[in-house]
Structure 1
Amino acid sequence: MAAILAKKLGMTQLFLEDGRVERVTVLEAGPCPVTAKRTADRDGYDAVQLAFGATKEKHLSKPELGHLKKAGVGPHRHLVEFRDVAVEAEVGQSVTVEAFEAGQKVKVAGTSKGKGFQGTVKRHGFGRGPVTHGSHNTRAPGSIGAAAYPARVFKGLRGPGRMGGERVTQPGLEIVRIDADENLLILRGSVPGPRNGLVEVRTDA
């Protein structure tokens, strides 16, 4: 299983050689230096830690700078561990988009766009109430509880609340094209998060 960190640049369309139009998302993936490797014998699990997003030293703490310096890597903004990932690169070397191939299926994880506090119609797709005869419950959720028994609202009821801003994993996305010179991954479909958001890309094994 290959993995890499990427920045979502946005969506566009791509004309293929057979004339078809693909709706695609463009990701700026890597290069991601390997900053640590975890082993079952020493750490209790197998994982590889990748860095992404070169930045200035003043934006990092001294422990973070020391960790990166020990790995022989410059200052990077993001550090993410990937479990059960086979990476040939050693600590200090980089993982690039060349670890993937066009036609591969990948899954992309990221933080979805925050929508703020939303009602049941937008958040859960509830239908609206009547809009005539003086009705005042057009977008109201309706009755939510019982009577004297159980005299409470059951946990897990779908109600209003904060929407979005959660970790979302989108599986089954196909790599349409790879641009190794520009470090670009072009995927069919949409991925979670806003433009310039950090996403994690893994082969969908």
Structure 2
Amino acid sequence: MSALSRGLISRLHRILSANSRTPPTATTKFYLLRCFSADALIDGSQVEYHQQSRVIEAKPGVMTPYSKRTGVVAVKCGMTALWDKWGARIPITVLWVDDNIVSQVKTVEKEGFFALQVGCGQKKEKHLTKPEVGHFRAQGVPMKRKLREFPVTEDALLPVGTCVGVRHFVPGQFVDVAGITMGKGFQGGMKRHGFKGGPASHGASLSHRSIGSTGQRDAPGKHLFLTPLRR
């Protein structure tokens, strides 16, 4: 998508949101013209349009089935296991929620959607880039190691600086987990695709883990054998 189309979509979105929030006054009419005009003066007068900023408060509320809350950023600590009443072993992955706070709030009025940016961990200023340091200072939050953005609904917005911990979830709640796989470098067919490999006893010389033959050109690769069904 080009920059022109993105700018046009954002202007149209601001126009629609302005119409839904405010009655059609003279200031609103000027704002609608100002969005598509490069001139600052209309009829010899200059009018400034001030958009009211959204006030976000952390207050208790009832979530609906369509509500979407924010997630958290966690660090994998290790593996353990539990046993149920039947004696079956249940593997468990231990996650550490390291000082998650809301570092930015994105709303429809400014960004065009509702989302929360959550920061995790701590990091020194000298280890961050200048744009990252400026972002944290502008939001008034401490320096964070990881930043992730979670789309939410309007009723799940949280103010900047809100701490999000393990109490954000309830026991028995299902969650979607997404992570980054550890890099394994160049791998062979057995580890990468689960191939069987060559014989591990006689007849193999330095080719135990090779993928072996994967095709015989036309025969039998492109031949179809039809077997009649018995009645």
TM-score range, shorter chain: 0.5 to 0.7
Structure 2 stretches of 5 or more lacking a match? Answer: 1-68, 219-231
Map of 2:208 onto structure 1:
138
Aligned alpha-carbon RMSD (Å): 3.1
- Which one is further off, 37-46 or 93-102? 37-46
Q: Provide the C-alpha distance between the structure 2 equivalents of 1:126 and 1:20, rounded to a whole number of angstroms.
A: 30
Map of 1:76 onto structure 2:
144
Tell me which of 92, 97, 107 is aligned to 2:176: 107
Structure number with higher relative contact order (C-alpha < 8 Å, ≥ 6 residues apart) = 1
Structure 1 stretches of 5 or more lacking a match? Answer: 149-205
Q: Provide the C-alpha distance between the structure 2 equivalents of 1:64 and 1:117, rounded to a whole number of angstroms.
A: 33
Shift of 1:101: 0.6
Aligned residues: 149
Contact 2:70 2:151 (8 Å CA) reproduced: no
Partner SS for 1:66: helix
Change in 2 beyond 3 A, CA 1:6/1:129 = same
Q: Deviations over 1:98-149 (max 9, x none)?
A: 111111111211111222211111111111234566344533223345648x
Tell me which of 25, 40, 48 is aligned to 2:93: 25
Question: 1:180-199 maps to which residues of 2 (within 5 A)?
Answer: none
Shift of 1:49: 0.5
- Which one is further off, 66-75 or 34-43? 34-43
- State whether structure 2 residue 173 is matched by structure 1 residue 120: no
Q: Provide the C-alpha distance between the structure 1 equivalents of 2:158 and 2:85, rounded to a whole number of angstroms.
A: 34
Q: Provide the C-alpha distance between the structure 2 equivalents of 1:69 and 1:18, rounded to a whole number of angstroms.
A: 54
Q: Provide the C-alpha distance between the structure 2 equivalents of 1:53 and 1:93, rounded to a whole number of angstroms.
A: 14
Please identify which structure carries the higher strand content: 1
Change in 2 beyond 3 A, CA 1:18/1:90 = farther
Give the number of the structure whose alpha-carbon radius of gyration is greater.
2
Contact 1:2 1:100 (8 Å CA) reproduced: no
Change in 2 beyond 3 A, CA 1:139/1:24 = closer
Shift of 1:42: 2.6
Partner SS for 1:70: helix
Change in 2 beyond 3 A, CA 1:132/1:97 = closer
Change in 2 beyond 3 A, CA 1:125/1:65 = same
Q: Provide the C-alpha distance between the structure 1 equivalents of 2:103 and 2:111, rounded to a whole number of angstroms.
A: 15
Q: Deviations over 1:23-67 (max 9, x none)?
A: 322211143121112234432333210111112211112221121
Change in 2 beyond 3 A, CA 1:89/1:16 = farther
**TM-score for both structures, normalised by structure 2:** 0.54
Map of 1:54 onto structure 2:
122
Identity of aligned residues (%): 42
